[in-house]
A and B are shown apart, each in its own frame.
Chain A
Amino acid sequence: MQSTLQQPQKVASPTKTETISGSEAVLKALLAEKVDTLFGYPGGAIMPIYDALYDYREKLQHILVRHEQGAIHAAQGYARSSGRVGVVFTTSGPGATNLVTGLADAMIDSTPVVCITGQVFAHLLGTDAFQETDVINITTPVTKWNYQVTDATELPHVLAKAFYIARSGRPGPVLIDISKNAQLQKFEYEGYTPCDHIRSYRPKPIVRKEYLEEAAKLINAAEKPFVVFGQGVVLGNAEKEFLRFIEKAGIPAAWTIMGLSALPTDHPLNVGMLGMHGNYGPNVLTNECDVLIAVGMRFDDRVTGRLDKYAKQAKVIHLDIDPAEIDKNVKTTVPVWGDCKETLPLLTKLVDQKVYPQWLDTFNKYKKDEEAICIHPEKNPEGDVLSMAEVIAALNELTKGDAVIVTDVGQHQMVACRYAHFNKTRSNITSGGLGTMGFALPAAIGAKFGAPERQVIAVIGDGGFQMTIQELGTVMQNKVDIKILILNNHFLGMVRQWQQLFNEKRYSFVDIESPDFVQVAKGYHIDGFATDKREALKAALKTMLDHNGAYLLEVSVGKEDNVFPMVPQGCSVSEIRLK
Chain B
Amino acid sequence: MSKQEFTITVYTENQVGLLNRIAIIFSRRKINIESMNTSPSEVEGIHRFTIVVNETEEVIKKLARQIEKQVEVLKAYYNTGDEIVWQELALYKVSTDEIAEKVKVERLLREYGARAVAIRKDYTIFETTGHREETDRLVKFLEPLGLIEFVRSARVAIIKASEGFHEKLRQFERQEPGEELVENEFLGQNEEIFTM
Selected interface stretch from B84-92, B106-114, B127-135, B173-181? B173-181
Q: Give every chain A residue within 8 A of B74 (Cβ-Cβ).
A: 199-200
Shortest A132–chain B CB gap in Å is 17
Selected interface stretch from B13-21, B48-56, B94-102, B115-123? B13-21
Docked complex Cα distance between A205 and B62 (Å): 16
Interface size class of B (residues with CB under 8 A): 20 to 34
How many pairs of A and B residues are in contact by the CB < 8 Å rule? 76
Q: Give every chain A residue within 8 A of B61 (Cβ-Cβ).
A: 327
| A146 to B, closest residue via Cβ | B17
**Cβ of B182 and Cβ of A208 under 8 Å apart?**
yes
* Interface positions of B (Cβ within 8 A of A): 12-13, 16-17, 20-21, 24, 28, 61-62, 65-66, 68-69, 71-74, 169, 172-173, 175, 177, 179, 181-182, 184, 186-187, 190, 193-196
List the 10 closest A-B pairs by CB distance, nearest first. A324-B65, A199-B172, A145-B71, A201-B71, A200-B74, A324-B69, A199-B173, A200-B72, A200-B13, A197-B175
Contact of A402 with B by CB under 8 A:
no
**Cβ of B172 and Cβ of A333 under 8 Å apart?**
no
Restricting to A39-75, which residues have a CB under 8 Å from any CB of B?
none
- Given A145-B71, A200-B74, does the pair A140, B24 have CB atoms closer than 8 Å? yes
Docked complex Cα distance between A77 and B169 (Å): 38
**Cβ of A200 and Cβ of B20 under 8 Å apart?**
no
Shortest B123–chain A CB gap in Å is 36
**Cβ of A333 and Cβ of B196 under 8 Å apart?**
yes
Docked complex Cα distance between A324 and B66 (Å): 6
What would 23 A/B residue contacts be, using CB atoms closer than 8 Å? A136-B17, A137-B20, A200-B12, A200-B172, A201-B71, A201-B72, A202-B181, A206-B179, A208-B179, A211-B186, A315-B196, A316-B196, A323-B68, A324-B62, A324-B65, A324-B69, A327-B62, A328-B62, A328-B65, A331-B196, A333-B193, A335-B184, A335-B186
Shortest A423–chain B CB gap in Å is 35
Shortest A328–chain B CB gap in Å is 6
Q: Give every chain A residue within 8 A of B13 (Cβ-Cβ).
A: 200
* Interface positions of A (Cβ within 8 A of B): 136-137, 140-141, 144-148, 165, 196-202, 205-206, 208, 210-211, 214, 312, 315-316, 322-324, 326-328, 331, 333-335, 337
Q: Give every chain A residue within 8 A of B190 (Cβ-Cβ).
A: 214
Docked complex Cα distance between A145 and B20 (Å): 12
- Given A140-B21, A200-B74, A327-B62, does the pair A206, B177 have CB atoms closer than 8 Å? yes
Docked complex Cα distance between A20 and B138 (Å): 63
Docked complex Cα distance between A137 and B19 (Å): 11
| B15 to A, closest residue via Cβ | A147
**Cβ of A200 and Cβ of B24 under 8 Å apart?**
no
| B72 to A, closest residue via Cβ | A200
**Cβ of B71 and Cβ of A199 under 8 Å apart?**
no
Shortest B61–chain A CB gap in Å is 8
Q: Give every chain B residue within 8 A of A208 (Cβ-Cβ).
A: 179, 182, 184
Docked complex Cα distance between A312 and B196 (Å): 8
**Cβ of B69 and Cβ of A322 under 8 Å apart?**
yes
Q: Give every chain B residue within 8 A of A165 (Cβ-Cβ).
A: 71
Q: Give every chain A residue within 8 A of B177 (Cβ-Cβ).
A: 202, 206
**Cβ of A140 and Cβ of B179 under 8 Å apart?**
no
Shortest B196–chain A CB gap in Å is 6
Docked complex Cα distance between A197 and B174 (Å): 8
Docked complex Cα distance between A145 and B16 (Å): 12
Q: Give every chain B residue within 8 A of A148 (Cβ-Cβ).
A: 16-17
Residue in contact with A323 in the complex, picked from B65, B73, B196, CB distance below 8 Å: B65
Residue in contact with A205 in the complex, picked from B172, B182, B195, CB distance below 8 Å: B182
Docked complex Cα distance between A197 and B175 (Å): 6
Q: Give every chain A residue within 8 A of B175 (Cβ-Cβ).
A: 196-197
| B46 to A, closest residue via Cβ | A200
Q: Give every chain A residue within 8 A of B184 (Cβ-Cβ).
A: 208, 335, 337
Q: Give every chain B residue within 8 A of A210 (Cβ-Cβ).
A: 187
**Cβ of B24 and Cβ of A141 under 8 Å apart?**
yes
Residue in contact with A140 in the complex, picked from B20, B169, B181, CB distance below 8 Å: B20
Q: Give every chain A residue within 8 A of B182 (Cβ-Cβ).
A: 205-206, 208, 337
**Cβ of B169 and Cβ of A334 under 8 Å apart?**
no
Question: In the complex, which of the residues B69, B172, B187 has the most CB atoms of chain A within 10 Å of its own CB atom?
Answer: B69
Shortest A346–chain B CB gap in Å is 15
Q: Give every chain B residue within 8 A of A335 (Cβ-Cβ).
A: 184, 186
**Cβ of A137 and Cβ of B17 under 8 Å apart?**
yes
Shortest A290–chain B CB gap in Å is 11
Residue in contact with A144 in the complex, picked from B66, B71, B186, B195, CB distance below 8 Å: B71
